Amino acid sequence: MSKFQPGADNGDLCAGSAPRSEGKSLSRVRVRVALAVLVLAVAALSSASAWPPEGSPDYLDPHRPVAQRVADLLGRMTLAEKVGQMTQAERSAVDGDPELITRLGLGSVLSGGGSGPASNTPQGWADMVDRYQERALATRLRIPLLYGVDSVHGNNNLVGATIFPHNIALGATRDPDLAREIGHITATETRAAGPQWVFAPCLCVTRDERWGRTYESFGETAELVQRMETVIDGLQGTTPQDLAGPDRVLATAKHFAGDGDTTYGTSTVGTLDRGVTITDWEHFEQVDLAPYATAVERHRIGSIMPSFSSVQWTDRPGSAPTRISGSGELLTGVLKEKIGFDGFLISDWEAIHDLPGDYPEQVRTAVNAGMDMVMEPSTAPEFAQTLIAEVEAGRVPTTRIDDAVSRILTAKFRLGLFEHPYTDRTHIDTIGSAAHRAVARRAVARSQVLLKNDHQVLPLDRNRHVYVAGVNADDLGNQAGGWTVTWQGQSGNTAFPGTTIVDGIRQHAAQVTYSADASAPMTGADVGVVVIGETPYAEFFGDVGTHDRTLGLSTADRATIHKVCGTIEVCVVLDVAGRPQVITDELPEIDAFVMSWLPGGEGAGVADPLFGSAPYTGQLPVSWPRTEQQEPVNVGDRDYDPLFPYGHGLTTHDR
């Protein structure tokens, strides 16, 4: 019997933690000052004015253990107050009526993709979150609000934030330390603007690049995803105490489990997204479940978001697809009991509406299965009313409610929200800073994968005349992709700091000619650089077969390659996309081919290895198909024969 299969003995689980570095010793004068301050602090604690005030409830005492504080608060709560904590509404539903937070005692508010304050600035975000927090603190028990956002590649809803490469690019770096550093910067820029909770990282294992969320995955193997989960440590820190810092946020592993491994054609909204993972238990455990076990055991993930998708077991005769969001076997039996997850589960956007039955049945199915908080963007009052009725009718046990609320309150205590509910703006001036952008640029350079380099044409000589073509060479929106200021992202998006790829090339080359459609004369050019790729998308809109999308190159990109590579002696092609594109027919006429992924704001990082100021070291995190029909193709397959194999990547050296 496998480790996490229902009925198996999972044994003891432990979570490792990284050592904390020691600070430098103080000078003798500073030691004396520190001792004097300590004496005064001890005296203050022993005075009548010490916190908490005499007679305050235990849950307000920060010196008591979290478990004791949770138990004390839970014992004071009514059913309506408990259900309020399990309810999450979207910003747009409460912005016109902030009193809704107080009336329902909401546990959380979120901003969906592209949802933000009228003043989309760090100050505007912090003021908005604090305004909502004020309404939460007006409730009887003053339980603070938890605010969630999709910081999937930086604080990407915020105009002015540092925008990092998407996860697929980070997978290409094979650099866990870099992932941790990016997670920490993301946490710093997110919490300084108000939100304390992020719906990231995506721990899906992408097994079919026709899936529109491929770029949200670190790669096609569980081992690679597990390796890059250090991003969680960057977001949350390495101990429960770290969460209360102004540079940490609660992280969310998503989407549990198997949403990158669905079968083509099983989706009702596209081809793969929100589809059915048709699998046996062994494969599911080794590929789809493993990253979440690592997130719990090694990284103490604070919350997990179950997938929209379903699972159908091939090793259970007569098995029908079962929605993950309603599977008690997986959410409670496997995740909570066998793996030992002690955080809380948050449903995806209106995900419980996809469960069978009428609304009351959907609510009780999800909650009884183990869902702790339910994301009901525009129907929070209906959810709360329905769940209260289900409990009062005996169809949802009060023990299940108490378990869910205990998990949610534990996170809020560890985040320090009861002591410091309002935004700590200590790091607000670091948002989009030069130092943070420098890390993003380094990440872009490390993520570049050199797939072909005939005659060692790369790196390029800075003294040569470079002719640059292709729309994606000069479009911040295209190179950032989806989940950037808006949900789907958009071409021409300039609402964040950054440099385009042609900007970066101009920083290196002595002479540059740029023509988006290659219509400008090419006379005198020594090197042609063609930047091809995709336009932005997110979730099911990116599925191949949806909205006329394919893995093939656009007609314009093929024409530009033929024109430039057929005219200029040395021709380099850069692909700016969230997944491999079929380039089999064009490859023979290309001297050098680089996969640039979705680099985010720092296009200059694409140019750095192109001209040798950084080496090419990236490796493919997914297998590159010869044709679209070859998908799904993954390392370890029988008759494995991709155009470029998983892990492929040529190297160069700094000049």
- As annotated, the active-site residues are 348, 539
Q: Which helix (H) or strand (E) holds 30?
A: helix 28-46
**Burial (CB count within 10 angstroms: exposed 0-12, middle 13-18, buried 19+), residue 177:** exposed
∠ Cα 427 246 495 (to 5°): 45
Instruction: Fill in the amino acid letter for 564.
Output: V
Pull the structure tokens for residue 481: 């992709």
C-alpha span between 479 and 491 (Å, rounded): 9
Cis preceding linkage at 645, omega within 30: no
Kind of pairing, strands 592-595 and 449-453? antiparallel
Pull the structure tokens for residue 172: 């290409």
Q: If DSSP states are collapsed to H, E and C, what string results for 166-179?
A: CHHHHHHHCCHHHH
Phi, psi of 144 (to 5 degrees): -70, 160
C-alpha span between 628 and 44 (Å, rounded): 70
Residue closest to 334 by CA, chosen among 258, 240, 220, 409: 258
Q: Give the strands of the sheet with 252-256, arranged side by side.
A: 252-256, 303-306, 344-345
DSSP classification of residue 393 = T
Residue 125 CA to its chain's centroid (Å): 20
Instruction: Fill in the amino acid letter for 37.
Output: V
For 123, other C-beta atoms within 10 Å of its C-beta total 14
Instruction: Fill in the amino acid letter for 545.
Output: G
3 state SS of 110: strand
Q: If DSSP states are collapsed to H, E and C, what string results for 308-372?
A: CCEEEECCCCCCCCEEHHHCHHHHHHHHHHHCCCCCEEECCCCHHHHCCCCHHHHHHHHHHHCCC
C-alpha span between 379 and 87 (Å, rounded): 10
C-alpha span between 43 and 477 (Å, rounded): 57
